[in-house]
Structure 1
């Protein structure tokens, strides 16, 4: 009997010891895979971006202060958001760093696309479909990065153009003169001349001016059409005036800013609110 009790006590101590060992055993720290940065540059320091496609027109953008500008293949304000997406490539990291040999197997010779950020060149190859990572060559090594960086590369130059009709300072509009009427600010209120059959409220006129202030198209490209007869003279708070010509109404409205040499494609609904407000 005593032997059995002693055996049970020893077994209990053994189980307790094993439990204590497992509880207090130092947990194994999982080592994170080594990450390789593709660049030491910072996105906010990038001042020039060049994009070359295997098939397509090269695109060049340059930054002036906070605003990016397309400088080739045509001149225009660039979409700052799209330009920053490209500059963010310098943030890319990879868990693989391969020697830059046999580049053809990664479709890096010739590459699908090349992005040059200031003085650093990144060439894009094929997608590793198993790992869902993109092969990118920079310097003397090939890396695998998130494919989001390739998605930022514009298939056409027009994608990088700012579709807004006005710069931020130009949005301080104080008057719009159309062929049949004009709206201007007089002593803090909006006034329409000639007086329309239905008198619009100040809210109506504020919405009308906002349509002009915030006008944004679906496509911006070099002016190809001839200016039409219909035009709008837009006056800004700083005394600047800009004439916008309506070059087409069908199948979509196309406005030309001759001072920029650009044409802006607008949806019919947007253009209707700008040229044919419901109180006219």
Structure 2
């Protein structure tokens, strides 16, 4: 019995020794293969985006600090999330790469390209799709790449398609709000004061109401018609840090809430129920002093 146990212990020692030797002197594991990227361009370095559809005027977006604007007379605010989805092209994986000279560029939809996208000085030309995996042919420099098609649907030749649907800037700090028949002003201590006084309304109800304006989004945004006969009352939003006054004209509409910024020439069409949420104070909470 003891000889059997000793033999078992010896076998265990030999096994441990063999495993140790394999770890110490065995072949080194293969290094992971680096995923080939389309470009080494970094998204946070891009300050200018230009989108050109065949035979159309280009749409240009410019970065100013942390915000993006459409480069037109009114400097329309661009949709930050959509801009980031466009800039995601800088992280695209190249599934295959071919020298331009080895391809029939007309056959793959690159002569001429369907869309040309410029990110800073880098140029990307979008062609057709290959039939097997539906990868997009994309020319960059002297090569044509096959990439997963996630960016092309974010591009448009209509500037209004790229406009932010937010009524106010992403980092807006509202310090005053004037509605038809009601004005709210924030004091130095952060408390809200209403004119006329709103019995039964608490500071919490004021804060919720203001937050609704801060994060309000339109269902769709269109260029303003310019017909001033459609408008009625005005909404004035006062912002702080930096100070700015934003004015909206209320467009006559029995059902939906439609607001127009005449300084930008844009009309914001909001969802059903927005009129109730944005033009009427909510009830609830302890009365404010």
Q: TM-score range by the shorter chain?
A: 0.7 to 0.9
Q: Distance in 2 between matches of 1:250 and 1:107?
A: 48
Quote how far apart the aligned CAs of 1:149 are.
2.9
Change (3 A) 1:181 1:114: same
Quote how far apart the aligned CAs of 1:40 are.
2.9
Task: State whether residues 226 and 247 of structure 1, in contact with CA within 8 Å, keep that contact through their aligned partners in structure 2.
Answer: no
Aligned with 1:111: secondary structure? Answer: coil
Alignment pair present for 1:241 and 2:245: yes
| Structure 1 partner of 2:3 | none
Quote how far apart the aligned CAs of 1:268 are.
2.8
Aligned with 1:268: secondary structure? Answer: coil
Aligned with 1:234: secondary structure? Answer: strand
CA-based RMSD of the aligned residues comes to 3.1
| Structure 2 partner of 1:70 | 70
- Structure 1 residue runs of 5 or longer lacking an equivalent are 1-19
Task: State whether residues 114 and 127 of structure 2, in contact with CA within 8 Å, keep that contact through their aligned partners in structure 1.
Answer: yes
- Structure 2 residue runs of 5 or longer lacking an equivalent are 1-17, 284-289
Quote how far apart the aligned CAs of 1:139 are.
1.5
Aligned with 2:71: secondary structure? Answer: strand
Q: Distance in 2 between matches of 1:214 and 1:131?
A: 39
Alignment pair present for 1:267 and 2:268: no
* 1:18-76 per-position Cα deviation (integer Å, ceiling 9, x unaligned): xx9xxx8x899889778544323211111111112247663211111221111149631
Aligned with 2:194: secondary structure? Answer: strand
Q: Distance in 2 between matches of 1:215 and 1:159?
A: 18
Aligned with 1:76: secondary structure? Answer: coil
* 1:168-223 per-position Cα deviation (integer Å, ceiling 9, x unaligned): 45x22222122212222345432322234x52222222111112222221223432
TM-score, normalised by the number of residues in structure 1: 0.77
Q: Distance in 1 between matches of 2:32 and 2:275?
A: 55
1:164-203 correspondence to structure 2 within 5 Å: 164-168=166-170, 171-186=172-187, 188-196=190-198, 199-203=200-204
1:52-71 correspondence to structure 2 within 5 Å: 52-54=52-54, 58-71=58-71
Q: Distance in 2 between matches of 1:27 and 1:224?
A: 73
Q: Distance in 1 between matches of 2:202 and 2:39?
A: 56
Change (3 A) 1:250 1:111: farther
TM-score, normalised by the number of residues in structure 2: 0.75
Q: Distance in 1 between matches of 2:276 and 2:113?
A: 45
| Structure 2 partner of 1:17 | none
| Structure 2 partner of 1:46 | 46
Q: Distance in 1 between matches of 2:224 and 2:149?
A: 34
Task: State whether residues 52 and 59 of structure 2, in contact with CA within 8 Å, keep that contact through their aligned partners in structure 1.
Answer: yes
Change (3 A) 1:249 1:55: farther
| Structure 1 partner of 2:128 | 126
Alignment pair present for 1:253 and 2:254: no
Q: Distance in 1 between matches of 2:87 and 2:31?
A: 30
Aligned with 1:129: secondary structure? Answer: coil
Task: State whether residues 52 and 116 of structure 2, in contact with CA within 8 Å, keep that contact through their aligned partners in structure 1.
Answer: yes
Query: Relative to structure 2, which stretch is displaced further, 177-186 or 42-51?
Result: 177-186
Task: State whether residues 57 and 156 of structure 1, in contact with CA within 8 Å, keep that contact through their aligned partners in structure 2.
Answer: no
Aligned with 1:217: secondary structure? Answer: coil
